[in-house]
C-alpha cells in the first residue's frame, strides 16, 4: 500500500482533493507566456513590480506564483517577493535546456480542449482532438502555422534537452556514411548526431516542406549545411524516403501513429534501402515505468492515434515490415533506442 492509502479518511480525502486541480500546467504556461523567469533573472522582485513589467494584474499574478512555489518552480523569498529556482530558470527562452516552448504548448487551447473531450477517447479509443477540431492533429497544424511553429519549437527544445544522452548511447553512428532522420522537425537531433560523430559522412532530414523551411534557418543546422554534411528531403515520409541510407532514425515519431501507418512507413524504408537498420528513440512501456511515461501515453490517446508501446508491440511492428528487433539500448533518460535490422542480417 502507498503511504496515502494508510492515512485516516479525512487525510485521504485531502490528499485526493490535491489531485483534482488542473492549475499547475496552466500556470506554467502563463509564466512562460509572460516571461516571468526572464524578468526574475535579474534577481528577486516584488510581485507588484513584476506584474507591472509583465503587463498583468499583481493580485492574480501573486496567486499564480504562489501555486507554482508550492511545486518548487519559483521561490517566495519574503512575503510578496519571488525569485527563480533551478526549475523556473528552464522557463526562459533561448537558453540551453529551455522548456519555454513546451510549457507554453501544454497550456495551448487546442490541447486543453482535447483534454476536455478525453471521455470520447475513453469510450471510443479514438483521439479527442479529432472530435473537438474535426480533423487529425497533423493536418490541423498545417492549417495553423502559428500553433505549428510552437509545436515544432517545443519538440526541438525537448529534443535538445535529451539529444546528447541519446546520441552518446549509440556510437555505431560513427561507422556510417549516411543517416536519415524521419520527421526530425527543426533538425537538431540529426545535427547533434553529426556534431558528435565527425566521421559520419552526411545526414538527411526528411519532413514536410513547411518544417524543412524552419530547419534551414536553425543555427545548429546551418554550419553543417555549409560543410555539405546536412541535406534536406521535403516530403511526406509515408510516401517517399531518401535512398542510399545506412540507418533510418526517428525520435518521438513512432508513438504518434497507429500500427498500420508505422508498418507502411517501415516497409517503405525496407524497400528503399534494403540493408539499412532502423533506430527509434522512444519511450518503452514496462512494469514500474515512470509517471511521466504514463502521462505521455494519455497525451497520445487524447491527441493522436498513437501510444507508448512495450517491447513485444515494437517487435511485432518491425516483424510485419521485414525487420527484426535486435536490441533496446537504455540512454539514462525516459527514452530508449530501439534498434531493428532487416530479416536475414
Catalytic residues: 255
∠ Cα 32 293 65 (to 5°): 25
SS (H, E, C) the chain: CCHHHHCCHHHHHHHHHHCCCCHHHHHHHHHHHCCHHHHHCCCCEEHHHHHHHHCCCHHHHHHHHHHHHHCCCEEEEECCEEEECCCHHHHCCCCCCCCHHHHHHHCCHHHHHHHHCHHHHHHHCCCHHHHHHCCCHHHHHHHCHHHHHHHHHHHHHHHHHHHHHHHHCCHHHHHCCEEEEECCCCCHHHHHHHHHCCCCCEEEEEECHHHHHHHHCCCCCHHHHHCCCEEEEECCCCCCCCCCCCEEEEECCHHHCCHHHHHHHHHHHHHHCCCCEEEEEECCECCCCCHHHHHHHHHHHHHCCCCCCEHHHHHHHHHHCCEEEEEEEECCCCCEEEEEEECCC
Tell the residue number behind the cell numbers 510581485, with chain if given. 47
Contacts of 222 (CB under 8 A, 6+ apart): 216
Q: 134-163 b/e with 16+ CB inside 10 Å = b?
A: eeebeebbeeeeebbbbbbbbbbbbbbbbb
As a dihedral over the C-alpha atoms of residue 292, residue 315, residue 301, residue 97, rounded to 10 degrees, the angle is 40
What would the grid cell of residue 234 be? 521535403
What would the grid cell of residue 259 be? 500500427
Amino acid at each position: 500500500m502507498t503511504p496515502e492509502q494508510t492515512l485516516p479518511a479525512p487525510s485521504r480525502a485531502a490528499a485526493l482533493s490535491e489531485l483534482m486541480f488542473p492549475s499547475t500546467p496552466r500556470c506554467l504556461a502563463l509564466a512562460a507566456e509572460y516571461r516571468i523567469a526572464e524578468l526574475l533573472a535579474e534577481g528577486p522582485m516584488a510581485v507588484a513590480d513584476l506584474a507591472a513589467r509583465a503587463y498583468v494584474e499583481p493580485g492574480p499574478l501573486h496567486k499564480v506564483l504562489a501555486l507554482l512555489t508550492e511545486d518548487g518552480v519559483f521561490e517566495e523569498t519574503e512575503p510578496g517577493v519571488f525569485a527563480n529556482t533551478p526549475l523556473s530558470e528552464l522557463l526562459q527562452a533561448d537558453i540551453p535546456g529551455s522548456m519555454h516552448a513546451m510549457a507554453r504548448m501544454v497550456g495551448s487551447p487546442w490541447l486543453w480542449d482535447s483534454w476536455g473531450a478525453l471521455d470520447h477517447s475513453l469510450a471510443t479509443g479514438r483521439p479527442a482532438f479529432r472530435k473537438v477540431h474535426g480533423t487529425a492533429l497533423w493536418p490541423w497544424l498545417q492549417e495553423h502555422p502559428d500553433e505549428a511553429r510552437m509545436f515544432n519549437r517545443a519538440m526541438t527544445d525537448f529534443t535538445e534537452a535529451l539529444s546528447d544522452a541519446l546520441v552518446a548511447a549509440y556510437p555505431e553512428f560513427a561507422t556510417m556514411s549516411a543517416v536519415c532522420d524521419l520527421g526530425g522537425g527543426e533538425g537538431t537531433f540529426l545535427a547533434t548526431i553529426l556534431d558528435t560523430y565527425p566521421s559520419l559522412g552526411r545526414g538527411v532530414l526528411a519532413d514536410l516542406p513547411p518544417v524543412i523551411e524552419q530547419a534551414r534557418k536553425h543555427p545548429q543546422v546551418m554550419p553543417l549545411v555549409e560543410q555539405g554534411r546536412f541535406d534536406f528531403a521535403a516530403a511526406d515520409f509515408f510516401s517517399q524516403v531518401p535512398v542510399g541510407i545506412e540507418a533510418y532514425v526517428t525520435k518521438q515519431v513512432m508513438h504518434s501513429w497507429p500500427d498500420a501507418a508505422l508498418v507502411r512507413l517501415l516497409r517503405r524504408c525496407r524497400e528503399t534501402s534494403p540493408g539499412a537498420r532502423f533506430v527509434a528513440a522512444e519511450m518503452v512501456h514496462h512494469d514500474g515505468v515512470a509517471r511521466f511515461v504514463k502521462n505521455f501515453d494519455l497525451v497520445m490517446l487524447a491527441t493522436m492515434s498513437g501510444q507508448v508501446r512495450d517491447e513485444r508491440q515494437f517487435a511485432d511492428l518491425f516483424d510485419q515490415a521485414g525487420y527484426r528487433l535486435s536490441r533496446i539500448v537504455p540512454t539514462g533518460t525516459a527514452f530508449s533506442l530501439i534498434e531493428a535490422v532487416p530479416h536475414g542480417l
